[in-house]
């Protein structure tokens, strides 16, 4: 058995830990570049004690051109530390800026697919990741996802050097998130845990992380949808999201993310919504295909185990899992993808990109074009009654 396991140098978790940000920042740098979401004023008190702050707003998913401009501003301000406070897009932007502050060249030199795909060679500037959503786990991942405009795709930079120095996870920062953000982000975290668990690159340590995350998120996501002020459920969601980030950083993902990436780039549909609509259908299709084409696959008992963990039922099976995921998607009030302008033509156009996606390489088996087309078609239609 041989594997490596990547994590942030330090993880600080718990209610109220946001108040340690100034202390953590002072230990890492003298002048911070802080990237926040579209409403940075709500973070004024938190940032007031951080030294030498250059504040930059990330209003939406970060674009390649924006990253280039942010790096130039951070260099001009002599920043030696990057802090990201926000959802996954903000944290991805912060990691990209931190990496490009220290590595020569520019962003296209390191982008996959549309760039040169060069490896990062110099450790990124110290980076503190402070999530305000319980979703992507970007505070504990080794990649950053950026939006390119020509061509219109989502692309990544991947490197262990992108891992944040400190992940500061305070569940209280997620309480103010709207229900739809909570739902979509939570479904993304759940998907990441499930895909990493059945991934062909899973290892015993990533499996342990996934098991703990799945055990917590199964009851916690319905609980926070019912009561957004449920602090115990919020803590479990934040912890599960952190686990999902560590899991994907070390075991990779699967077909849901392989399909969601290209379709999201073409359509602009929210990533969490894409995952929520796709995960019940991909799970159902994969389990069926495994039983037909690879009945001895080790992924089949793992799907059964995931069902037991998520449903908290000792006799739950993979067949029940797909139905439960569909019911949870309905409970999250996730609309069909057609609501976001996703058409059959866009789905068809995204299939070649999905088949080439790196996440597809670690899915338990290769899904066919016909299977992908059927999944996309069902995801665009209203949810079937369970």
pTM tops 0.75: yes
- Greatest extent of the chain over all pairs of C-alpha atoms, in Å: 60
Domain range summary for the chain, segments of one domain joined by +: 10-173, 175-380
Q: How many residues in the chain?
A: 386
CATH of 10-173, one of 3.40.50.1970, 3.40.190.10, 3.40.50.2000, 3.40.50.2020: 3.40.50.1970
* CA distances (Å), origin 342, targets 126, 262, 274, 329, 378: 39, 12, 10, 18, 12
175-380 folds as: Dehydroquinate synthase-like, alpha domain (1.20.1090)
SS3 of residue 144 by DSSP: strand
* CA distances (Å), origin 259, targets 103, 154, 222, 349: 31, 12, 25, 11
| CB 165, CB 187: distance < 8 Å | no
Q: Walk along the chain (386 residues) and give the pLDDT tens digit of each residue.
A: 788 999 999 999 999 999 999 999 999 999 999 999 877 777 778 888 887 789 999 988 888 899 999 999 999 999 999 999 999 999 999 999 999 999 998 888 998 878 888 999 999 999 999 999 999 999 999 999 888 876 677 788 999 999 999 999 999 999 989 999 999 999 999 999 999 999 999 999 999 999 999 999 999 999 999 999 999 999 999 999 999 999 999 999 999 999 998 898 888 889 999 999 999 999 999 999 999 999 999 999 999 999 999 999 999 999 999 999 999 999 999 888 888 888 888 898 989 989 888 899 999 999 999 999 999 999 888 766 54
| CB 207, CB 263: distance < 8 Å | no
The C-alpha atoms of residue 116 and residue 348 are separated, in whole angstroms, by: 27
Q: What b-and-e string marks burial along 320-330, b requiring 16 or more CB atoms within 10 Å of the CB? A: bbbebbbebbb
């Amino acid at each position: 058995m041989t594997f490596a396991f990547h994590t942030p140098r330090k993880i600080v978790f718990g209610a109220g830990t946001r108040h340690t940000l100034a202390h953590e920042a002072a230990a890492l740098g003298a002048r911070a570049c802080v990237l926040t979401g579209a409403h940075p004023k709500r973070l004024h008190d938190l940032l007031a004690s951080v030294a030498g702050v250059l504040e930059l707003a990330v209003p939406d998913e970060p674009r390649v051109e924006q990253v280039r401009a942010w790096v130039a501003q951070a260099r001009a301000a002599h920043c030696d530390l990057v802090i990201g406070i926000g959802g996954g897009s903000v944290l991805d932007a912060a990691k990209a800026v931190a990496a490009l502050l220290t590595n020569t060249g520019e962003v296209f030199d390191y982008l996959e697919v549309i760039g040169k795909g060069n490896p990062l060679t110099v450790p990124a500037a110290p980076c503190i990741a402070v999530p305000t959503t319980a979703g992507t786990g970007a505070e504990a991942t080794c990649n950053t996802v950026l939006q390119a405009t020509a061509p219109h795709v989502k692309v990544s930079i991947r490197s262990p050097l992108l891992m944040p120095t400190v992940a500061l996870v305070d569940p209280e920062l997620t309480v103010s998130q709207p229900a739809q953000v909570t739902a979509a982000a939570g479904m993304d975290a759940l998907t990441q845990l499930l895909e990493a668990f059945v991934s062909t690159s899973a290892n015993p340590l990533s499996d342990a992380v996934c098991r703990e995350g799945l055990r917590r998120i199964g009851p916690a996501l319905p609980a926070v949808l019912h009561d957004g002020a449920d602090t115990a459920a919020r803590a479990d969601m934040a912890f599960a999201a952190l686990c999902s980030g560590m899991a994907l950083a070390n075991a990779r993902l699967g077909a849901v993310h392989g399909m969601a990436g290209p379709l999201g780039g073409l359509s602009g549909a929210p990533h969490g919504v894409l995952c929520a609509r796709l995960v019940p259908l991909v799970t159902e299709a994969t389990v069926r295909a495994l039983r037909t084409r690879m009945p001895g696959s080790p992924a089949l008992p793992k799907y059964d185990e995931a069902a037991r963990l998520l449903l908290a039922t000792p006799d739950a099976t993979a067949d029940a899992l797909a139905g439960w995921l569909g019911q949870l998607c309905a409970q999250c009030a996730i609309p069909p993808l057609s609501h976001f302008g996703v058409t059959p033509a866009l789905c068809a156009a995204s299939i070649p990109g999905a088949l080439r996606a790196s996440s597809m390489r670690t899915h338990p088996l290769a899904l066919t074009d016909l299977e992908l087309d059927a999944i996309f078609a069902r995801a665009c239609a209203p949810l079937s009654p369970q």
